[in-house]
Amino acid sequence: MTSVLVKDLTLKFGALTVLDNLNIDIPEGEFLVLLGASGCGKSTLLNCIAGLLDVTDGEIHINDRNVTWEEPSGRGIGMVFQSYALYPQMTVEGNLSFGLKNARMAKAEIKQRVARAAEILQIEPLLHRKPAALSGGQRQRVAIGRALVRDVDVFLFDEPLSNLDAKLRADLRVEIKRLHHNLKNTMIYVTHDQVEAMTLADRIAIMKGGIIQQLDTPTEIYNRPRNKYVAGFIGSPEINFFEGEVEQGTFATGGERFSLEGYAFQGAATAGAAWLGIRPEHIVSGGSAKDLPVTAEVTVDIVEPMGSDTLAWATLAGVPLRIRMDGQAAVSTGDRILIGFDPARASLFDKTTEERL
């Protein structure tokens, strides 16, 4: 069953088009992440779904009901904001029950729902505190609770973890995942953090300039990015790009010629100008490199040890090359090393359209 349906959604602020004829169909229980750089329209889209912004054109359906003209409170959504947006003068209990009181719910029912949400989120000892007396993680939990008590069909998260420090972010990320697993609600989650997107999402929608670039599972987006923007956006350290020509099963670039043996073209293999992208973690170095279809010998320029792995910088075909190596790899600046990669793991994009070949 479709939970949220966005149909031909367009939003303009004057002459500026923020969202351009957008269509998304989100099945019930899915965790969808809207991912993109700032200003790509992801938060705007979420605000449109929430009803906090009037759309210029198009429709929004939630649970097969057209809610395009509904007030935010009448849409069956709960929203969690980046700055928590807790009402500072109310206690945690007051924050949780505010929406229910507005809906004129019976007192006993309010109490029961607040107790249940507090139990799920483990904030029972905090119920009589004010937000100012809570830590960042606790505040965000209360903010999630505020959506939880209203028993909504769809949860909307607007960068909920961006204000937390790295360790807390990782903890709460797991908690949100667990929450989704237990509640099985539809969740739409906006973030610019690709780790959050990859770990949480059933599907990711990568947005740029108000247009969805690719809407797919995390694995598909990582392995088979549909265009050059998606390939460059997902993955850290960033993917390596080579500019060159596809000709007769090979890729020629800067005096080098890489074999394309094993590469799965979208259609028939076409010759012409193209980009070749290969992720730093798919470049193999050392003994096993020599058996791969593409090999080269490079000089290491800079080494960045990160503990779990080591990032080495070299130059190949006149372009800086990132190579992700094992954390224990004995490599230092100036070393000559043999590297190789499997073209099946690379991505080719047309030079002009930047679409996947």
Decide whether 141 or 226 has the Cβ nearer to another protein.
141
Decide whether 18 or 212 has the Cβ nearer to another protein.
18
Using the rule CB under 8 A, is 103 a contact of another protein?
A: yes
Decide whether 49 or 284 has the Cβ nearer to another protein.
49
Q: Which of residues 221-260 bind another protein (CB under 8 A)?
A: none
Using the rule CB under 8 A, is 127 a contact of another protein?
A: no
Decide whether 78 or 235 has the Cβ nearer to another protein.
78
Using the rule CB under 8 A, is 98 a contact of another protein?
A: yes
Q: Is the Cβ–Cβ distance between 78 and 19 less than 8 Å?
A: no
Q: Give the chain as a 3 state SS string.
A: CEEEEEEEEEEEECCEEEEEEEEEEEECCCEEEEECCCCCCHHHHHHHHHCCCCCCEEEEEECCEECCCCCHHHCCEEEECCCCCCCCCCCHHHHHHHHHHHCCCCHHHHHHHHHHHHHHHCCHHHCCCCHHHCCHHHHHHHHHHHHHHCCCCEEEEECCCCCCCHHHHHHHHHHHHHHHHHHCCEEEEEECCHHHHHHHCCEEEEEECCEEEEEECHHHHHHCCCEHHHHHHCCCCCCEEEEEEEECCEEEECCEEEECCCCCCCCCCCCEEEEEEECHHHCEECHHHHHCCEEEEEEEEEEEECCCEEEEEEEECCEEEEEEEECCCCCCCCCEEEEEECHHHCEEEECCCCEEC
Tell which residue, 192, 304, 293, 312, has the closest CA to residue 240.
312
Using the rule CB under 8 A, is 81 a contact of another protein?
A: yes
Alpha-carbon distance 34 to 42, whole Å? 6
Site string for another protein, 4-43 (x = CB under 8 A): ----------------------------------------
CB of 99 to another protein, least distance (A): 4
Q: Which of residues 301-330 bind another protein (CB under 8 A)?
A: none
Using the rule CB under 8 A, is 145 a contact of another protein?
A: no
Residue selected from 77, 114, 179, 206 as contacting another protein according to rule CB under 8 A = 77
Using the rule CB under 8 A, is 161 a contact of another protein?
A: no
**Contacting range for another protein; rule: CB under 8 A; set: 68-76, 242-250, 252-260, 289-297:** 68-76
Residue selected from 21, 66, 89, 122 as contacting another protein according to rule CB under 8 A = 89
Using the rule CB under 8 A, is 71 a contact of another protein?
A: yes
Alpha-carbon distance 273 to 349, whole Å? 9
Residue selected from 66, 83, 217, 315 as contacting another protein according to rule CB under 8 A = 83
Using the rule CB under 8 A, is 146 a contact of another protein?
A: yes
Using the rule CB under 8 A, is 76 a contact of another protein?
A: no
Residue selected from 85, 198, 303, 319 as contacting another protein according to rule CB under 8 A = 85
Decide whether 96 or 298 has the Cβ nearer to another protein.
96
Using the rule CB under 8 A, is 133 a contact of another protein?
A: no
Contacting positions for another protein (CB under 8 A): 47, 50, 52, 71-74, 77-79, 81-83, 85-89, 98-99, 102-103, 146, 150, 158
